Amino acid sequence: MLQLYVGAIMVSMLIFFTSLNVHADETLPQKTDSTIWIFANKVSGFIRSLPILTSSELVQEMGKASSNLQTRKLKLAQAAEAKKFKTRDSVIALAMPGGIIYAAAKKLRHKQAVQQFNSVSAQLDELKRNLKEFRLAAYKSDQLASLN
């Protein structure tokens, strides 16, 4: 049984590695939406080289992500405020049969909105930290490149 298992693993590895080398010379450049070229093997579909972003493009992408997170954070703050348990909800909970269930559901929705807000806030803070670190590293590498 073990020999069969090992044999199956070896055959699958052999197939995998031969698929990497079959028609390796038939790589065609495929143009993407920007001016970056991706080289892919026509037969197997494996990507042979990946596009490289410049540091300024990466900073722009991080800026876009930051503004998207800022917008999402603002919307989530508004949603959390709207889902807050208010005096009106207390009156409804007392007056209606099943009001305790209503109150519990209302509080749960508010708690979930606050958790989403906190999650987005943490992501935004991490992105801002990463952006600062990346800018510092890019500045240092530019300084080193200018020395050479």
The pTM is what? Answer: 0.56
> What element of type H or E holds 41?
strand 37-41
In the chain, domain spans = 2-49, 55-147
pLDDT at 89: 85
Place of tokens 């026509």: 42
pLDDT digits (tens, 9 = 90+) for 115-131: 999 999 999 999 999 88
β partners of residue 29: 39
User: For residue range 80-90, what is the model confidence (pLDDT) as tens digits?
Assistant: 999 898 888 88
User: Span 126-138, mean pLDDT?
Assistant: 87
Strands in 37-41's sheet, in edge-to-edge order, are 27-31, 37-41, 47-49
Identify the CA nearest to 143 among candidates 55, 63, 57, 61.
55
More reliable by pLDDT, 65 or 2: 65
For residue 130, the SS3 value is helix
Q: How many CB atoms lie within 10 A of CB 124?
A: 17
pLDDT, residue 29, reads 44
Looking at the chain, the whole-number percentage of residues with pLDDT higher than 90 is 25
Rounded distance between C-alpha atoms, residue 5 and residue 50, angstroms: 35
3-state secondary structure at position 27 = strand
d(CA 94, CA 98): 9
User: Mean pLDDT, to the nearest integer, of 18-33?
Assistant: 47
How many other C-beta atoms can be found within 10 angstroms of the C-beta atom of residue 114?
17
